Every structure is written in structure tokens, then in C-alpha cells.
């Protein structure tokens, strides 16, 4: 190292937790401040669906699977796309998808299929003008970096991490809204929780 080189400061896990929590709080503030009607529209669509189909790739898909579980706890008929027991989608159903870029091939193709049969599409994305955003009936715009944005201008986190965290939080907020609207107690939801564990 020469005299003009600044040594790299390696953050601690505590530092990283601060970064993550600050970024997530910023996204939540933007969503709340914007009072985006798509949030409540997404909740209403899911709550009124005959069946809900959930699809996301990678970590976005994992976050949506958690939402699928909570919607099942509410008593909704929920299916995770790609599972062998997933039936065909049809009119009256809702496809809930997440793609930061809105260009993920498998997600866009699924949305095209859903649109062709008359199902409604609810999308979480950073880009409402993407192919997925244009197909969706309701797009919840998550103000976070997409996976391809590696410049660190929107988020210091790696490869879409902030988007995936926000997908989980928005999914939980939608569940919480539907749960409270249902009037059901936690005890009434509990019997639907998995017991083959």
C-alpha cells in the first residue's frame, strides 16, 4: 500500500444491520408517504380472488412464498406456481408476482398466460413500464434497486436485496390488512397452520 492509498474499512455485522435497517425504513417511508393506491388495490384483489397463484424467482420467490403461507392462514385458496399440485389458472383467479426488473422471463411468460385466460395480475416491481408492469392490472412499485442495478446508488446491498426485503414487508402488510378486515382472531387462523412438522 502506498502513502496515497486509503485503507478499506470493513464493516462489522452491526454496521451492516444499520445499513439494511436504514434502507428498508427508507423504502417503507416512501411507500407510506406516497399513499400508493396500488397497495390497497392489491390487498382487495387478493382478498376477493377465487384462487391466488404466487410466483417469483430466486429470493423474490422465497419472499412471496411467505406471503402465500399467510394468505393460506386466512383461508384463501393459494397455490405456489411450479409445485406439482398447482392447478391451471383461470378467470377469477389472481396471479401475484414479483420481479424487480419486471423482465424476468419465467414471470413475464406466466403473466402473459394469466392475462390470456382472464386472470388478474398483481405485480411487485421497481419498474411500472417494464413488460411485467404493462401486463399487470395492479403494479405496486417498490422504490428499491433492481437486481441489475449494481452501481450502489439506490442501495448499498447486493443484487436486489432491498427489493426482496421490501417484497416480504409489503406481503406481510397486505396479509395484516386482510386479517384485520376479516375480524378473525389469531386463534381462528391457527388451525390452518401446518401440523406435519
CA distance linking residue 153 with residue 20, whole number of Å:
14
For residue 94, list its beta bridge partners. Answer: 52, 120
- Quick check: is 83 catalytic? no
Q: Which of 50, 129, 164, 188 is catalytic?
A: 164
Cell of 197: 412438522
Radius of gyration over alpha carbons of the chain, in Å?
19
For residue 123, list its beta bridge partners. Answer: 97, 139
CA distance linking residue 26 with residue 165, whole number of Å:
12
Active site positions, annotated: 164
Amino acid at each position: 500500500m502506498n502513502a496515497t492509498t486509503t485503507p478499506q474499512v470493513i464493516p462489522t455485522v452491526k454496521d451492516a444491520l444499520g445499513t439494511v435497517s436504514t434502507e428498508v425504513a427508507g423504502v417503507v417511508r416512501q411507500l407510506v408517504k406516497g399513499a400508493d393506491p396500488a397497495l390497497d388495490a392489491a390487498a382487495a384483489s387478493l382478498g376477493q380472488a377465487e384462487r391466488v397463484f404466487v410466483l417469483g424467482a430466486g429470493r423474490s420467490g422465497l419472499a412471496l412464498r411467505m406471503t402465500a403461507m399467510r394468505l393460506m392462514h386466512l383461508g384463501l385458496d393459494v397455490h405456489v406456481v411450479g409445485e406439482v399440485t398447482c392447478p391451471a389458472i383461470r378467470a377469477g383467479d389472481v396471479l401475484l408476482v414479483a420481479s424487480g426488473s419486471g423482465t424476468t422471463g419465467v414471470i413475464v411468460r406466466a403473466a402473459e398466460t394469466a392475462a390470456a385466460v382472464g386472470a388478474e395480475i398483481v405485480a411487485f416491481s421497481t419498474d411500472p413500464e417494464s413488460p411485467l408492469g404493462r401486463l399487470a392490472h395492479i403494479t405496486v412499485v417498490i422504490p428499491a434497486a433492481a437486481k441489475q442495478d449494481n452501481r450502489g446508488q439506490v442501495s448499498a446491498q447486493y443484487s436486489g436485496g432491498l427489493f426482496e426485503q421490501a417484497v416480504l414487508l409489503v406481503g406481510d402488510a397486505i396479509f395484516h390488512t386482510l386479517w384485520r378486515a376479516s375480524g378473525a382472531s389469531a386463534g381462528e387462523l391457527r388451525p390452518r397452520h401446518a401440523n406435519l412438522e
